[in-house]
Structure 1
Amino acid sequence: MAAHDREDIVLAGASGRVGRLLRRAWSVAPGPGAGIVSTARRPGPGALAWDPLEAPGALPRLLAGRASRVAAMVVLTGITPGPGARLDLNAPLARGSLDGARAAGIERVLFASSAAVYGPGGGRRPFSEQDPPAPATAYGAAKRDAEAEVARFRDLGMEVAILRIGNVLGADALMRSAENATPDAPLALDRFASGHGPVRSYIGPLGLARVIAALAMHPGPLPDLLNVAAPEPVAMEDLLQAAGVPWRWTPAPGGAQERVTQDCARLTALLPGLPLAETAAAMVAEGAALPPLPAA
């Protein structure tokens, strides 16, 4: 990829939880030579209105007149689990996002998928990129289908890197539940026979921002598929302790998995020396230090 004095990263889906965290992190340090152009399906502060489901071809018009080149588009647009969530829209949204990128002449796309496509794993070794998807949830299946949609664009000459992202601290289910915890109603955390709670692959918001910026601006070709998380998994009780969240143990139910983790050796080899918070305390501190989201 040719060097430019100024290159932009288009962040599609900037109004979601992960998108807002990334924008806060990038307001501190977006990465060398990179500016951020945020889009969202619903207009909001600092984000251009673009719905890849309804009008994928509108993206070139939104980007017209910019003096800088678009180095890459990051696709966060998607539907997450929740009451009444239309998970079946994930694949059409992915396809529309790539249609828009192609129409705008964007050659590199980073598609945000999820470790949920791997499935529970039965507590075995960490998942690597070579492991076939075996989703056990509707969300995991929807993201697998979305991956298949975007992979087809490689045949059209686009560079599409699928990022199977682990838990992003601050956008994850644990910390969302922790928002409602009080000393009188502490968060219940599964406790396994080992005496410990769940262990998962995590990444802090600043670490994720650094990874994505580095991949967007990487001078060489990217792998088709990358696990994205810190090199070592973390224990959920350590995260709750570091965040000062009131919590208590509860017996883990049958079928619950103590360890579901990812092997991120490929990412580490591609981006050697990239600073990532690796402990629960460091990730929590990283999130707490982020500035508020800019109004524009």
Structure 2
Amino acid sequence: MAPTRVLVLGSSGRIGTMLRRCWATDTSASQGDAIEFVFQTRQAQPDRPDDLLWDITEDPPDALRLGGAYDCLIVLSGIVPKPDADFTLNTAIATASLRAAARLGIASVFLASTSAVYGTYQDEPFREDHTPRPVTDYGRSKYNMETTARAQARALGLKLCCLRIGNVSGADALLLTGAALAAGETILLDRFHDGGTPVRSYMGPRTFARILRSLIHNRADVPEVLNIAAPKPVSMLALAEAAQMPVTLRPVDAQDHQYVTLDCQALAALHAFEPLASDPSEIVRQWQDLRGA
């Protein structure tokens, strides 16, 4: 059986780099699960000579158009939160990617969005049918990207799934901050009235990589939007403790939301989670294993 061919845009970012390492070393994938990944990047890397060089805002290069058919496109490219970031480019990148998919005859597209589109207006887990109310420029830009891309995909006849991705260990603020602590410094975490700390939806990078494998194989059945995280949320304190990072707790205002989490029942119908996928120690271990590699 021929492998499923997948073109991945944005493979040199933090999440893209972790995913490709996971896919390259995942021994759990069966022979019938064969997927051939082709990775796009804008700048040549000495250790990645087979990467496809392409600015996705420009026409696809001949090497891509003549390189055979693809079954699926994953768009990880995007503008992440940082000083002076131009978040309007998130929509421009998405629309350019969809135009390229239509030109290349790629019928199925997965577009990386974010759980930040929901905002923080409730303590109950957010389902895909809850109304997005983003509170940051980044979240607003991603929701605008989703809205524009969904309309464009329908017009082009493409199967689009916007992935509302939760926190991925190794690409999250908590663990990256903790890893950069100097001697004597601690992570500051909010402490709520019940003594608990913030609770968020997380997953390890290997879990994310396996989720994407499942979605690729079930691409005909995916909805237009899909929450992506391990099935059970975790507390930030439990993650910090699993990573053996020092923590200082500070009381917070009663208005703040302790729980900002995702309902992942729709995802669970498409992907069989491993038993420890939501365990804080496993989430941290997956990141630390990649750091060690």
Residue 237 (str. 1) matches residue 237 (str. 2): yes
Q: Structure 1 residues 275, 103: CA separation in 2 closer, same or farther (over 3 Å shift)?
A: farther
Larger mean CA deviation between 153-162 and 205-214 belongs to 153-162
- Using the alignment, how far apart are the partners of 2:108 and 2:291 within structure 1? 29
CA offset at residue 187 of structure 1?
Answer: 1.4
- Return the letter of the residue paired with 1:22: L
Q: Give the unaligned 5+ runs of structure 2.
A: none
- Return the letter of the residue paired with 1:16: G
- Using the alignment, how far apart are the partners of 2:127 and 2:16 within structure 1? 25
Q: How does 1:1-296 map to 2 (within 5 A)?
A: 4-29=1-26, 31=29, 32-44=33-45, 45-46=47-48, 47-53=51-57, 55=58, 57-59=59-61, 61-66=62-67, 69-122=69-122, 124-152=123-151, 153-218=153-218, 220-253=220-253, 255-272=255-272, 277-290=277-290
CA offset at residue 219 of structure 1?
Answer: 6.3
Q: Contact 2:116–2:139 at 8 Å: present in 1 too?
A: yes
RMSD between aligned residues: 2.0
- Using the alignment, how far apart are the partners of 1:275 and 1:170 within structure 2? 21
Q: Contact 1:10–1:70 at 8 Å: present in 2 too?
A: yes
- Using the alignment, how far apart are the partners of 1:62 and 1:248 within structure 2? 53
- Using the alignment, how far apart are the partners of 1:87 and 1:264 within structure 2? 27
Larger mean CA deviation between 161-170 and 218-227 belongs to 218-227
What SS class does the counterpart of residue 121 from structure 1 fall into? coil
Q: Contact 1:231–1:263 at 8 Å: present in 2 too?
A: yes
CA offset at residue 274 of structure 1?
Answer: 5.7
- Using the alignment, how far apart are the partners of 1:244 and 1:180 within structure 2? 13
- Using the alignment, how far apart are the partners of 1:35 and 1:70 within structure 2? 9
- Return the letter of the residue paired with 2:25: V
Cα deviation per residue 1:162-211 (whole Å; 9 max; x = unaligned)? 11111111101112211222341111111111111110001110010011
Q: Structure 1 residues 189, 129: CA separation in 2 closer, same or farther (over 3 Å shift)?
A: same
CA offset at residue 49 of structure 1?
Answer: 2.2
CA offset at residue 65 of structure 1?
Answer: 4.3
- Using the alignment, how far apart are the partners of 2:241 and 2:133 within structure 1? 32
What SS class does the counterpart of residue 290 from structure 1 fall into? helix
- Return the letter of the residue paired with 2:44: P
Count of equivalent residues: 285
CA offset at residue 214 of structure 1?
Answer: 1.3
- Using the alignment, how far apart are the partners of 2:71 and 2:178 within structure 1? 37
Q: Contact 1:181–1:246 at 8 Å: present in 2 too?
A: no
What SS class does the counterpart of residue 193 from structure 2 fall into? coil
Q: Contact 1:207–1:276 at 8 Å: present in 2 too?
A: no
Larger mean CA deviation between 42-51 and 263-272 belongs to 42-51
Q: Contact 1:118–1:132 at 8 Å: present in 2 too?
A: yes
Cα deviation per residue 1:103-161 (whole Å; 9 max; x = unaligned)? 11111101111000000123x21000110111011000000011112212123211101
